[in-house]
Structure 1
Amino acid sequence: MVQLWCQGRCFPSVAAVIFDKDGTLADVAHYLRWVAIARAVKIAEHFPNLKALLLQAFGVIGDHLDPTGLQAVGTRQENQIAAAAFVATQGIPWIAALEQANAAFTAAEREFTAKAAFTPPLPGVIELVQRLHGRGCALAIISSDRRSEIEAFLDTYHLKPFFQCWQGGDEPPTKPDPQVLLRVCDRLGVRPDQTVVIGDADSDGLMAQRGGAAGSIGVTWGWPSPPKLNCFDCLATSPLEIQIALDPCTERNSCG
């Protein structure tokens, strides 16, 4: 086990660290904005008056994407349901609205067939992952992204050997449901109170709180405009601010 230190806060006896992916490990700010715009444009082909409303709902603000908005934090399904709700305001039956939103999202996604290639690791996160792994921490990912995209990211940047498991937003329940944390901890073979969650959205912090995690670290290093986070034990603006040391109890036990 290790101790984690961040902004003067100590998390002792940590056996596992669970990361979010987008905005925490992966640089997605520009990519997600492009996808949000493409989705809004596809729906606007049939309902031009909805484009501005959809962009606002997705969190597109001029040249930036709101890091706490629907596109940045929500799953594909959540974004699709929101889009379908706007379509339904045009007098379209609900099931047909869902189908139209899904068709628009699918068409938009064809323009971005290789997400991993456009969303590289953020500066310093590979080194953080390597340091944790080198200290014997079990590592996992809980993301709102699809499982296939998590695997593509890990494969593209040769990170899969460092992570024992990963959970996607297409595998319900999703964050902030604490059952997601409990499921991953069970797969890692650790207790929640031996686990620290690192993420860039309050859904990560809430999941950690509700699941009984040892603690949570909110990160703002993935966005040009840092998100306002309220549900974490401490905040980090750089991976370098997270310090790792061998836990004294583990060290004593290893010395007999």
Structure 2
Amino acid sequence: MSKAVIFDLDGTLIDSAPDIRAAANSTLAALGLAPLSLVEITSFIGNGFPHLVRLVMAARGIPTQKEDIIQARMFEHYMAHPATFSRPYPGVLECLHTLHSRGYRLGLCTNKPYAPAIEILEALKLSPIFDVVIGGDTLDVKKPHPAPLLAAIRELETEALLFVGDSEVDAATAEAAKVPFALFTEGYRKTAVHELRHSVRFDRFGELADIVAQRDTAD
């Protein structure tokens, strides 16, 4: 029976921070507020779009009662240009195609809302590779709750060999779902590598297909 490898999106497969920053700064500019740096925006990514919006608002002193308006405006900006600057990390496309050609089922489990996740996958020509996509609004809960990852596994109808992610949220999700975790060390994590529980780690996607094959053989 074929096994599955499930991936996070932002900070794992793609560097999406520049497009998120553009949406945030367009929203702030309309309010006459100063832009946020790429470092600031990157530090906000990981817990879903509503949480990111709240951090953007806090960083510029926007009253919390305006959250619905700011979230709608920022989402509109982001949906208009979700993949202008976002790019896959080096080796991602080759790795995904290799895994797909070897018969692995591939899933995506992200805290990004489903609609922009699909837009990005299509823009970067990644959508045909994935058998299932679970977005941050697919269920009533987000990662690090295990439900989104477990939902992806159920839809793939096979055993999950690895969950591949880059962050504290991903590590906690894998642990809660009892799925082996592969940590991509070059993403958006804020914690030292040794402080994140993981089964394996890698810093180049050229390594991942062989890691998957080795773990599959070992099982």
Asked if TM exceeds 0.5, the reply is yes
Q: 1:27 and 1:166 mapped to 2: Cα distance? A: 18
Aligned 8 A contact 2:8 2:110 in 1: yes
Tell me how many residue pairs correspond in the alignment.
Answer: 210
1:197/1:217 contact within 8 Å kept: yes
**Aligned counterpart, 2:93:** 126
CA-based RMSD: 3.0
**1:98-119: CA deviation from partner (whole Å, max 9, x where unpaired):** xx22222333444441212331
**Offset of residue 207 of structure 1:** 0.8
Secondary structure at the counterpart of residue 245 of structure 1? helix
Distance 1:15 1:83, change over 3 A: same
CA distance in structure 1 between the partners assigned to 2:137 and 2:124 by the alignment:
22
Aligned to 1:9: none
1:74 paired to 2:41: no
Q: One-letter code of the match for 2:145?
A: D
Q: How far 1:82 sits from its partner (Å)?
A: 4.8
Give the match for residue 81 of structure 2: 114
**5 Å matches for 1:16-27?**
16-27=4-15
Structure label with greater radius of gyration = 1
Q: State the alpha-carbon separation in 2 of the partners of residues 76 and 84 from structure 1.
A: 12
Q: Residue in 2 aligned with 1:221?
A: 186
TM-score under structure 1 normalisation? 0.70
**Contact 1:200–1:227 at 8 Å: present in 2 too?**
no
Q: Helix, strand or coil for the counterpart of 1:139?
A: strand
Question: Which consecutive unaligned segments of at least 5 residues does structure 1 have?
Answer: 2-13, 89-93, 251-256
Structure 2 CA distance for aligned equivalents of residues 15 and 136 of structure 1: 8
After superposition, give the CA deviation of every residue in 1:14-46 in whole Å (9 maximum; x if it has no partner).
81111011111122132233334344445x54x
Higher strand share: 1
Deviation at 1:154, TM superposition (A): 2.0
TM-score with structure 2 setting the length? 0.80
Secondary structure, counterpart of 1:37 in structure 2: helix
Any stretches of 5+ residues in structure 2 without a counterpart?
none
Q: 1:35-114, aligned counterparts within 5 Å?
A: 35-42=23-30, 45=32, 62-65=37-40, 67=42, 69-70=43-44, 72-82=45-55, 87-88=62-63, 97=65, 100-112=66-78, 113-114=80-81
CA shift at 1:173, angstroms? 1.5
**Poorly superposed stretches of 4+, deviation over 6 Å:** none
